[in-house]
Amino acid sequence: MIRVKVAVGIILRDNSVFVALRNSKQHQGGLWEFPGGKCEASESAEVALVRELKEECGISITECDFFKTISHDYGDKSVELFFYKVTGFDGEPDSKEGQEVRWVAVSDLVSYDFPEANKPIVVALMAHY
C-alpha cells in the first residue's frame, strides 16, 4: 500500500478559509481541499508546508500553528495529513496550478464536498468559528 505524508495549510482570514478544487485526474479529484502537498523524504511537515504553499498559492507564511494530524486509509492509498492553521502570510493566495480556488466562510464549509480525511477538520473548524 502506498503511504503518503502530506502538509496541509488551513489559510484563514476574517473568518474565511482558502480552499481549492482538486483536479479531476488526481486522487480524490473533483473534491475541495485545503492547499498543501507531499512531504519530501527528508522534509519536516512544516518545511513542506512553506514550500508547497509558495508553489501552489504564491504566499510566504509568516505565522502558522500546528492544528491536527489525521491518518486515513482510502484503500488504494494511506495518507498522514499534518494540518496547520496559517494566520499570517505575505502575498495574496491564488491558484498557481490552474485549479479553481476561493475564499469560503468557515460556517459555509459544510456545503462543500471534501475528501473523507478532511471532514474532521471541517467539523473542528466550524466548532471554533
CB neighbours of 41 closer than 8 A, spacing ≥ 6?
Answer: none
| 36 is annotated as contributing to ligand binding | yes
Looking at the structure of the chain, the number of domains it has is 1
Structure confidence by residue, pLDDT tens digits, 55-91 = 999 999 999 999 999 998 888 888 899 999 999 999 9
pLDDT at 127 over 70: yes
Q: Is 33 annotated as a binding residue?
A: yes
What CATH number is given to the structural domain containing 36? Answer: 3.90.79.10
Residue range 40-62: average pLDDT? 96
- Is 46 annotated in some ligand binding site? no
Tell me if 22 is assigned to a ligand binding site.
yes
Say if residues 51 and 15 touch (Cβ distance below 8 Å): no
Look at residue 101 and tell me whether its pLDDT is greater than 70.
yes
Q: How confident is the model at residue 129 (pLDDT cuts 50, 70, 90)?
A: confident
Tell me the CA distances in angstroms from 28 to 4, 87, 102, one per residue in order. 14, 26, 18
Query: Domain range holding 25?
Result: 2-127
